[in-house]
Amino acid sequence: MTSGDKLFGRLLGRSSVAPPDIIYPAQPATGLQLQLDNQGRVLHIGGTLRQQLAQHLTRDPTPLLRDLLCTHSALVVEGIPTDWQRHSLDLDFHGAAGQILHTRGAIEPHNDGWLLWALDIGDLLSGRQTSQDREQNHQLISQMSEQLRVCSLTRLPEVFNEHLRSLAQRWHIPCVALALLDQQDQGWLIYSQYTAHDAPTLWQTGQRLGTSLDSVNGNTSLSLNVGQGRSEHPRLHSVFGNADGFLVPYRDGQGVAAWLLCGFYTGQQQTSERDWLNLTAALAAPLLGRLREQRHHQQLERLEALQGLLGTGWWELRPTRADIQLAPQLMRSLSLEDGPTRLSLATWLNLIHPADRQELNSRLQDLQALGKPLLTSVRLQRTDAAGLPIWYRVQGQVLGVGENRRWIGFMLDISDIKNQQLQAAAAHARLDNLIASSPAVIYVQRYVNGALLPAFYSDSLLPLLGWTLAEATHDSLVDWVHPEDRDLYFERTRQLLREGSVRSRYRVRDKQGDYHWLLDESKLLRDDLGLPVEAVGLWLDVTESTQAAQQVKDSEERYRILVEDSPAMICRYRPDLTLTFGNTPLANYMECQPEQLPGMNLSHWLSEDQRQLFVQRIHQLTPEFPVSTAEISLQLPGREHAWWVWSDRGVFDEHGQLQEIQAVGRDNTEVRRSQQQLTQSAKMATLGEMATGLAHEINQPLNVMRMAVVNVLKRLGNGDVQVDYLTEKLQRIDAQVQRAARIVDHMRVFGRRSEVEQQPFDPAQAVEGTLALLTEGMRGKGVELRITAQDHAVQVNGYVDQLEQVLINLIVNARDALLSKRENDRAFQPWISVHTEHDNHHVRIWVEDNGGGIDPRLLERIFEPFFTTKPIGVGTGLGLSVSYGIVENMGGRLSVANGEHGAKFCIELPAVEG
């Protein structure tokens, strides 16, 4: 092929070699077949594409081929069919309905003429054009996105507006804009817009759209048509009006963040939906990123400026290092040298005042070890120019977990606030202390138009009168004054304004309606011109002193009637027990006149032990605990002992020294005698219960003596008299006589009444006496007694015979329970243990048996009077009740519990000191 043929082929859009995308038809009827003569006239048209040709072009029976082609194709088809062989022909035919039928084919000899066949390549050309357009769009999008990312923040609005103009011009959009969320009110606003010169303006830059775009589903990725009533979202008509258009969303991780608005535009179908979304993302994504970057920079700048103004900054501790990193602003605030912002923790702590350093270090350790938030205020070592301390608030917390933990916080300069607080607190403390220490109500009255209006009252107004400052108005103050004293109050005001100071006394009503006598002392303060400004004064409650005489007179009369008519014995005496006053019942009890009582001494009626206990109890009175009550025993001349329930109340001076004692007494002799009689009755009942055992105890020495006498008489009858034998027998008889005498004497001592007053004694004496009465009887009944004596002597206060009575009751009760159990179990071996122990304050005697214990339901009632578990007629139910009262009267406590083997009673008595 010549070079001219190659050039001609390029003009025809063909080549000498069929292109690889030419597909020759398998059937002749496929595509378009045209039979041509040698001159290029169309003799016949066939194939499936024939119907797509324009009908008016095929009316001529034999048209030229170029008459069927579009103008631009006809111009390049030259020559005759023989010139078109072996070339690929791109031919554009006039199609139906004004369309163009794009084909590609070849010509070959056929019979006497030529056969031109062609295939439709419209889709191929359209795809190629779409691919080219998409490539161009992609390049444009990439260029826009890259320029938005690299341009400066100051040129960002200008660059973005240029891209909008390029977008509008390329896609022929008359009006285009981008709407972003408004960060202030969460509405939508136009960030930037472009309008062609020949199109109406729909939007303005900065225009607020409100929440109209929220009506569109934010999760959609589809473009939405609006205008001409086609929108399913009527609220969008406020954005587009009646103009045609559509909008494309851009979504980020937080939802729809931007909308691309296209107005007066209906050609969005020419570009795929995906391309529109990519185009919107290419514009919105870098723009939002740069805007967030801009806001971040602005926040950083504001934060840096704020930190510099406040003298604050952040700090951070590292997990594996003993150092701390400080913000540059904080470094400058702490007057540290410019340089690395990381310094050792010790260096940082050395900046803190020693008074606060240890606490801060401890809190930092708690933050690192326990994750406890840090919040404290510390002072620096240095002071400011005025010599005042520099205060910082230090706060910190933990971020992250495990190896990613970080300890961060901030330091804030609070010197001004802290120093002002300290100064104000000191001033307020001084003022509050001054006002609070004043017994009077301090007030300030403001001078306004010739009247004095209340402006301030100290806190003592509320407890004194019950009124508050809000209630203390000018009119209400006059109403509070007693009607009889109002003239005096008005005169007081006139005198104050006239003379500048006043002192008066009048009555003021409190909130409950009671009146108080107030001493009013006030002074008028004037300005430089001598005009009144305010009055400062105080109210002192002098109600007591004003009404003192009448109150004293009335109280003395009431006191005299109350004291004299009282059946109780009332008196006053000094700490040395000398009476200063006594009422008539006390005088009658002492068989003297009331006027003879002053000067008498209470110690004359007390034993030495009772006097010591009485004086000791009086000396234990304090201002905090001024009252004491006790039972005292008196030895009255010519009469039996008397028992009084005596209550004292100490009167102290301002230094806490005891000045006088006021006492009230009640005769308790009959009650005491009844208690002693009950105790004695219980004691005799105990003796009665032990009669059988005691008889056996006495019979034992009598039997020994009888046998000794029989043996001696037998020897004498035989004439066999030996001095040694007779001496030995007489000694045995004497020992048994002494043994019987001891038993009888102990029974006599045990059976007599107790002493009047408690005496110190060794509890071991009571244990020994109890064993003397019960040992043989217990042994005879097969009950083992296990005795553990105390290792050191110790004494308690009380009655030895009554403690012995308690022990006998406990052991006898245990014996009865054990014998009752043995009746059911003959193999049972009973025992009773008596164990004594003591410490510096108490003596404890334990009585325990192996009887299995007491029913837990009965433990709470076991000490009740007349309560017994024995059969009717066997027990009285008074033994444990009387024992409980005896131990309690001795200042101790009797308790019971179930131990490992059985019931376990504990007698706890206070030890005598010294």
pLDDT at 690 over 60: no
- In angstroms, rounded to a whole number, what is the distance separating the alpha carbons of residues 642 and 673? 10
Per-chain mean pLDDT for the chain: 79
* pLDDT of 160 higher than 60: yes
CATH 3.30.565.10 describes domain 677-910:
yes
* Cα 588-592-598 angle, rounded to 5 deg: 105
Model confidence at 19, in pLDDT bands (50, 70, 90)?
very low
pLDDT at 8 over 80: no
Class of domain 3-120: alpha beta
Average of pLDDT values for 32-36? 86
pLDDT at 750: 52
What's the CA gap between 250 and 285, in Å, rounded? 8
In one letter, which amino acid is 177?
A
The strand pair at 784-788 and 831-838 is best described as: parallel
End-to-end Cα separation, the chain, in angstroms? 147
Given a cut of 70, whether residue 507 has pLDDT beyond it is yes
Of the spans 120-134, 195-209, 718-732, which averages the highest pLDDT? 195-209
Does pLDDT of 905 surpass 80? Answer: yes
Mean pLDDT computed over 421-445: 78
The phi, psi pair for 353, rounded to 5°, reads -60, 140
| Residues with Cβ within 8 Å of residue 17, at least 6 apart in sequence | none
Q: Is the pLDDT of residue 486 over 80?
A: yes
Locate the domains of the chain by residue range: 3-120, 137-298, 311-421, 438-546, 549-667, 677-910
329-377 pLDDT, tens digit per residue, is 888 888 776 666 788 888 888 989 999 999 999 998 898 888 899 999 9
Phi, psi of 830 (to 5 degrees): -80, 150
The pLDDT-based confidence of 13 (bands split at 50, 70, 90) is very low
| 175: amino acid identity, one letter | C
Q: At residue 622, does pLDDT exceed 60? A: yes
Mean pLDDT for 436-464 is: 83
Return the CATH number of the domain spanning residue range 549-667.
3.30.450.20
Provide the pLDDT for residue 703. Answer: 64
**Looking up tokens 């001076």, which residue turns up?**
653
- Judge whether 137-298 and 549-667 match in fold: yes
Among 489, 549, 494, 541, smallest CA distance to 516 is for 541
Average pLDDT of span 697-715: 68
Strand partners, 539: 441, 520
Of 242, 251, 407, the residue nearest 325 (C-alpha): 407
What the block records as the tokens of 859 is 């433990």
Please tell us whether the domain made up of 311-421 is placed in CATH 3.20.20.140: no
As its CATH architecture, domain 137-298 has 2-Layer Sandwich (3.30)
| Higher per-residue confidence, 716 vs 287 | 287
Name the strand (E) or helix (H) holding 589.
helix 584-589
Range among 207-216, 566-575, 875-884 rated most confident = 566-575
Percent above pLDDT 70 for the chain:
80
Between these two residues, 30 and 142, which has the higher pLDDT value?
A: 142
Query: ∠ CA 279-281-283 to the nearest 5 degrees?
Result: 75
Between 542 and 21, residue with greater pLDDT: 542
The whole-angstrom separation of Cα 732 and Cα 737 is: 9
Give CA–CA dist 170/330, Å, rounded.
54
How far is residue 23's CA from residue 118's CA, in Å, rounded to a whole number?
10
The beta-strand segments (E) located in 359-500 are: 374-383, 389-399, 406-413, 441-448, 451-457
Helix and strand numbers, DSSP H then E, in the chain: 24, 34
- Reported as a single tens digit per residue, the pLDDT across 736-774 is 666 666 566 555 555 545 455 678 888 888 888 888 777
CA distance 287 to 281: 9
16: its two tokens: 């000498």
Q: What is the pLDDT of residue 908?
A: 92
Is 800:765 a contact under the CB 8 Å cutoff? yes
Chain segment 829-888, per-residue pLDDT in tens: 899 999 888 888 889 999 999 888 887 877 777 777 665 666 544 555 567 777 887 888
Break the chain down into helix, strand, coil percent, rounded to 5.
Answer: 45, 25, 30
pLDDT of residue 819: 86
- In this prediction, residue 785 carries a pLDDT of 87
Of 378-387, 610-619, 674-683, the one with minimum mean pLDDT is 674-683
| Amino acid 688: pLDDT | 57
| Confidence at residue 638, expressed as pLDDT on a 0 to 100 scale | 61
What values do phi and psi take at 442, rounded to 5? -90, 135
Average pLDDT over residues 26-42: 76
Amino acid 503: pLDDT: 92
Confidence of residue 232 (pLDDT cuts 50, 70, 90): low
pLDDT at 23 over 50: no
Report in angstroms the alpha-carbon separations of 887 from 633, 844, 895: 19, 12, 10
pLDDT of residue 375: 92
Whose CA is closest to 213, among 245, 244, 180, 241?
180
107: enclosing H helix or E strand: strand 100-110
Whether residue 241 is predicted with pLDDT greater than 80 in this model: the reply is: no
Average pLDDT over residues 531-543: 89
Does residue 222 carry a pLDDT above 80? no
Residue 226 has what pLDDT? Answer: 57
DSSP states of 877-901 as a string? S-HHHHHHHHHHHTT-EEEEEE-SS
What integer is the mean pLDDT of 274-288?
86
Dump pLDDT digits (tens) for 58-117: 566 778 777 778 876 544 567 788 888 878 888 888 888 778 888 888 888 988 888 888
454 has pLDDT over 50: yes
Higher pLDDT, 780 or 207: 207
Give the pLDDT band of residue 502 (cuts 50, 70, 90).
very high
Contact 62, 40 (CB under 8 A): no
Q: How far apart are CA 359 and CA 350, in angstroms?
A: 13
Residues 835 and 788 sit within 8 Å (Cβ to Cβ): yes
In the predicted structure, residue 523 carries a pLDDT above the cut 90: yes
**Architecture of the domain spanning 438-546:** 2-Layer Sandwich (3.30)
Q: For 815-831, what is the mean pLDDT?
A: 86
